[in-house]
Amino acid sequence: MASSLLDPKALLADIACCVGFYTRLPIPDPGERDFARAQWAAPVAGVVVGLVIGATLWLSHALGVVAPLAAALALAAGALLTGALHEDGLADVADGFGGGQTRERKLEIMKDSRVGSYGVIALVLSLLMRWSALAMLAASGTFTMIAVLVGAHAASRAAIPAFMARVQPARLDGLSAGVGRVDSQPALYAAAIGFALLLPGGFAFALVSALLVIALSLGLERLAMRQIGGQTGDVLGTLQQCCEIAVLVAATTMLI
């Protein structure tokens, strides 16, 4: 892993691999890559998402769009960019964990493309909390707005490799199982990048955000192990959503 980071071509290929997966941007095929080892670049993909959402929020508000509507436009831009990948995971986990009685039934519900009442409620709450935070950020300075959004999206995706390193897949098939376990080294690199990208908001903000991300990761780990005996791609999407919201809450509390 360390040697690959010294190779610019390998570094760019890993970044392209993660950006291509976590967004719908037409990234050129980087060729055959070990996706588990490339997960150190997950927060870099978060930077791309944060910049697009931040730019949409800033431009909309600068053109005279009221803050609540600018926030909604920014959320729409993010959903289009990512294909609502993580929102889909959140809804599936809410339906599965909330509606299933057995491990097998929970996993079955999570694979179902239909969204139930638990999933709808989870999505509405997630969108409402993020919309409220973005509306507040729209009225803040440009630097704070961009720094917070980049940090939130980078840190929330930096939590994913560490979670995959700690928690075994819950099923033998599926996206997460296909990726395999992430080694500790790329997980640590991702965590370091995620924390560094929180620092423009100040050390206190970065520390509080990091502690919230850790607490949520450990809490979701315990919940997932109890509910389905491991993690899935849907659980990882839920982790991203929860951590993003936590960083936004910290920002609106401490920086605005």
pLDDT at 6: 59
Mean pLDDT confidence for 18-45 = 90
pLDDT at 1: 57
> How far is C-alpha 104 from the chain's CA centre?
26
Under the phi-then-psi rule, with left for phi > 0, alpha for psi from -120 to 50, and beta for the rest, what region is 231?
beta
Task: Quick: pLDDT tens for 178-222.
Answer: 677 899 999 999 999 999 999 999 999 999 999 999 999 999 999
Measure Cα distances from 160 to 42, 64, 90, 119 in Å.
Answer: 8, 37, 14, 21
Mean pLDDT confidence for 38-59 = 97
Task: Quick: pLDDT tens for 132-178.
Answer: 999 999 989 899 999 999 999 999 999 999 999 999 999 877 666 66
Q: Where does the pLDDT of residue 10 fall: very low under 50, low under 70, confident under 90, or very high at 90 and above?
A: confident
Mean pLDDT confidence for 239-245 = 98
d(CA 27, CA 7) in angstroms, rounded, equals 20
pLDDT at 4: 55
d(CA 131, CA 68) in angstroms, rounded, equals 7
pLDDT at 237: 97
Q: Which of 1-10, 42-51, 139-148 has the lowest mean pLDDT?
A: 1-10
Instruction: For the chain, give every domain's residue range.
Output: 2-254
d(CA 53, CA 41) in angstroms, rounded, equals 19
Task: Quick: pLDDT tens for 85-137.
Answer: 999 999 999 999 999 899 999 999 999 989 999 999 999 999 999 999 999 99
**What is the chain's Cα-based Rg?**
18
Which of helix, strand or coil describes residue 232?
coil
pTM score above 0.85: yes
Phi first, then psi: give them for residue 220, nearest 5 degrees: -70, -35
CB 155 within 8 A of CB 197: yes
CB 254 within 8 A of CB 136: no
Q: Where does the pLDDT of residue 84 fall: very low under 50, low under 70, confident under 90, or very high at 90 and above?
A: very high
CB 219 within 8 A of CB 242: no
Nearest to 241 by CA among 69, 122, 132: 122
